[in-house]
A and B are shown apart, each in its own frame.
Chain A
Amino acid sequence: MKGRLVRDLAGALIVVTMAAGPAVAQRPDRSAPPAPGPAPSLRLPVIEQRSLSNGLPVWIIESHEVPLVQLNLVFRSGSGEDPAGRYGVASLTADMLDEGAGDRSALEIADAIDGLGAVLTTASTFDASAIRLNVPVARLDEALAVMADVALRPAFPAADLERVRKDRLTSLLQVRDEPASLASIALARAIYGPDHRYGTPAMGTRTSIEALTAADLRAFHATHYVPANATLLVVGDVRPDAILPRLEQRFGTWAGVAPERTPLGTTRADARRIVLIDAPGTSQSQIRIGAVGAARTTPDRAAIEVVNTLLGGTFTSRLNQNLRETHGYSYGAYSAFDLRRSPGPFMAAAGVQTDKTAAALTEFFREFTALAKPTPDAELKPARDYLALSYPAEFETLTDLSRRLEELAIYEQPVDTLEQYVERVQAVTPGTAARAAATYIRPSTFVIVIVGDRATIEPGLRALDLAPIATWEVGPLLEGA
């Protein structure tokens, strides 16, 4: 028991209660944890790949567990396609789709969907935009009619646009109150700068949000929301032959040519530096550390995921064990690679109590540096097993399934990518893991953003002498040029 103190009192009382209870059952052997049996294999459901007469690919998975169906219409364009000076247009376009479409007002759309017990959402990321419908199968037809209006015929009414714009500007104002959000926004800016799209939040800045017009939204919609740029995913209690004619009726006559992709700017390795943002009176420092990571299509993906699992991907990862379980500096520490179409950021993060800010940074960098040492296979195996064995759980619900299919559609990957995932993860060796760590975890290039009580933490940061310190104001990050 690792020399742990055992309290006599506790033991004694347990004996007493046992004597008062019924006859004790036979004791199982607790000397070693029971070893799991052979791992179950994931039975991936069959994906029916069809298309409509306009070429729109339709992928269907039958699942008859519950009387629901999930339909996701995904487009391979997101905030990465925002033109310069129009940051936020992809995000605002997606947000405005259900604010009036076809002959329906925003309220009529909401009432129709709510009345059907359906959920209709519109969303975008840096790489994609999506309209997602979850509906009881008995009410599919009515819901499809609304979904088609929202996807194909958004009206972008002026009054609704002004309301949503005001909502976004208020949200941006509220970000000033959230040290964790500010730290992530500042890290992206510090890594990518103001000219690369990834250096500014998907929503844009106050200046860019104020400048967007309905014409911008219509142009983005006309260019990117076309069948040649889309895939329709259907998962649930349906039969392919029965649902295809209904989809053809709603989505089969829409047309348009595939958009040209805007190449994003290049990035180069940075020199280590600290960006400090003052948050007077807070009791924690929000720390974000990162650099440019990797692209979604990198051949190193499996090795990157195994290395990140080891570093900060799970509860038992090195960062969380160190900062939370050993030192108690934080409620939790983690790291993640955001794999985007162009190389997205790597980020390690924690909120730490103010008086431990410098000490926590020392521990972060201790763990980054330790990754440069070879990891024995015995330590890699649990990380590989975690990723491989938890994979089936990612296919449990209709929504889970549809999201896995979205990834294939957005990044134009073959269907067997899903089946090969486990094999690829299990093939990561100490050698490939070491190469991935050396390539993608380079502490000398990391930018460190700290949002915290400057007066309290700055002396410790200077004494630590980890990197040069710059002080940033919040304004320029959120206001824009």
Chain B
Amino acid sequence: MNRGFSGAVAAALLVFVAEGAAQSPLEVPYRLVRLDNGLSVILHQDRSVPVVSVNVWYRVGSANEEPGRTGLAHLFEHLMFEGSKHVPTGEFDRLLEAAGGSNNATADNDRTFYYEDLPSNALELALYLESDRMGYLLEGLSQETLDNQRDVVKNERRQRYDDAPYGRAWLELDTLLFPAGHPYSWSGIGSMADLSATTFEDVARFFRTYYVPNNASVSVAGDIDLDEAERLVRKWFSEIPRGTPVEPLSVSEPALDRVVRKTLTDRVQIPRLFLAWLTPKAFAADEPALEVAAAILADGKGSRLNQALVYGRELAQDVSAYQDGRALAGSFQVIATAKPGVSLDTIQAAIDHELDRLRTTPPDAAELARVINGIEASFYRAMERVGSYRGKALQLNAYYNAVGEPDYFAADLARYKAVTPAAVQAAVAQYLSRDRRVELQVVPEEGR
């Protein structure tokens, strides 16, 4: 990553140009430009349909929140749609929809990104809107819009967590897994009390601290002319002043030295078990082996936990497993919903039996090949779309911010192809221990 990039360079630095080269299906040619104000710009041409996607990535998430203000990064994301100095409230969406565009955004622990997918003739509109809220958001915000979006976010929390079956488990899991004070130990949606306490000044300070061009990158992918797109990005974003550099969060490696057990009651008919472990962060050396382990355990009908829990003995209604690598740390989760009448202890014993097998014996080559083939095909499928939550505009931005190289598609796939059966076994043995994990049970309320 180039966060420490100095503003002293007079002209924008052209780091890499690869357009027009003969390409493999996973090669994504791009142009990377740095503006004087520190904004990184990634441009990629794909003319298969007359559509363009603009993805703006800010290196800020719930991990940057302070005690008493949980939920601020996500609440702030909502406020970004409520108008800026030259774009009155409501116009952001109205202008985009009238141009045939769609948009959305998402905030997680580490980053917040915004996108517009629109017909390619309207590219400049998206750049105008994104640059106006990057440069001039606060002049368009009011206490009323903050209060309105605070209510909307509280309703989002009610709908997605408080009233959703098992929803509160998602709020608890990271709190149980990470030590108190770790930036991942609170949930991104925030507590109702903190949402209520958030002031306009909190919002303004958050904007001035994190929503600066030198803490952001813009990716434009689709039916574009590279020179023209670069000209338009420069036109709209160059005037935005550089902010104080944002120092990367520095936290010590979290550790868990015991089993943390908790039982929640919820408005559910049948119990669900959540097991969670601390694991390496995104792009760490051991991460692909853990992702492959998750797929061997729970991806597809033939996977080990599906065979053991869902198909063979029919103990569980469903089971899933995944490695969630984030910027500061990772977690690995196994989640299973019981069949009516089956106890979670029985389910946990069956899961542990399968983890023990993988801990002591490497998976066979065919099992590994099944997983790798699936991962490879999913890389090709991801090449088809430029926008939305899975398209190339986002992925170029994500790779750039994680490893400093936007076209990391083939290199990323190579990480998975290099995983050996022995590496899977070693990763399970090292990280998915029986005596250092969270065991969270969600059970029906009395009388259900």
Contacts and interface: CB of A to CB of B under 8 A. Distances in A.
A25 B235 CA distance: 9
B102 A390 contact: yes
Contacts of A65: 48, 383-384
B335 to A, nearest CB: 14
Contacts of A7: 138, 200, 204
B158 A33 contact: no
Nearest to B212: A17
Contact of A111 (B87, B100, B238, B370): B370
Contacts of A5: 142-143
Contacts of A30: 85-86, 128, 132, 136
B132 A10 contact: no
Contacts of A42: 49-50
B445 to A, nearest CB: 8
B311 A13 contact: no
Interface in A105-128: 106-107, 110-111, 114-119
Contact of B97 (A315, A324, A326): A315
Contacts, number: 271
B376 A117 contact: yes
Nearest to A134: B381
Contacts of B152: 324-325, 328, 330-331
Contacts of B270: 170, 173-174
A353 B239 contact: no
A283 interface: yes
Interface string B282-307: 00000000000000000111100001
A328 B85 contact: no
Contacts of A36: 99, 119, 121-122, 124-125
Nearest to B373: A117
- Give the bracket for the number of chain A residues in contact with chain B: 35 or more
A395 B128 CA distance: 26
Interface stretch (B172-180, B240-248, B345-353): B240-248
B241 A173 contact: no
B369 interface: yes
A170 B317 contact: yes
B48 to A, nearest CB: 5
Nearest to A139: B373
Contact of A283 (B163, B165, B374, B385): B163
Interface string A380-413: 0110011011111101111000000000000000
A179 interface: yes
B156 interface: yes
Contacts of B50: 40-43, 392
Contact of A33 (B95, B151, B204): B95
A27 interface: yes
Interface string B127-162: 011001000101111111001111110111011101
Contacts of B369: 115
A29 to B, nearest CB: 10
A66 B380 contact: yes
A22 B213 CA distance: 13
Contact of A11 (B88, B139, B366): B139
Contacts of A1: 85, 88, 139-140
- Give the bracket for the number of chain B residues in contact with chain A: 35 or more
Contact of B301 (A6, A26, A106): A106
A13 B269 CA distance: 54
Contacts of B267: 177, 279, 281-282
A284 interface: yes
Nearest to A173: B269
Contacts of A389: 99-101, 119, 122
A351 interface: yes
Given A33-B95, A40-B121, A398-B384, A353 B154 contact: yes
A344 B87 CA distance: 39
Contacts of A37: 121-122
Contacts of B91: 33
Contact of A107 (B132, B136, B301): B301
Contacts of A396: 48-49, 51, 384-386
A163 interface: yes
B97 A382 contact: yes
A194 B184 CA distance: 49
Given A30-B86, A65-B383, A351 B159 contact: yes
B181 interface: no
B268 interface: yes
A38 interface: yes
8 contacts: A4-B144, A21-B242, A28-B235, A33-B91, A328-B147, A389-B101, A392-B49, A393-B49
Sorted from nearest, which 8 A-B pairs have the closest CB atoms?
Answer: A389-B100, A328-B151, A40-B50, A117-B377, A25-B238, A117-B373, A110-B301, A10-B138
Interface of A: 1-2, 4-7, 9-11, 13-14, 17-18, 20-28, 30-31, 33-34, 36-43, 63, 65-68, 106-107, 110-111, 114-119, 134-136, 163, 166-167, 170-171, 173-174, 176-179, 279, 281-284, 314-316, 321, 324-331, 351-353, 381-382, 385-386, 388-393, 395-398
Given A5-B143, A34-B125, A389-B99, 10 more contacts: A30-B86, A39-B100, A39-B121, A40-B121, A171-B317, A316-B94, A329-B151, A331-B159, A331-B160, A393-B119
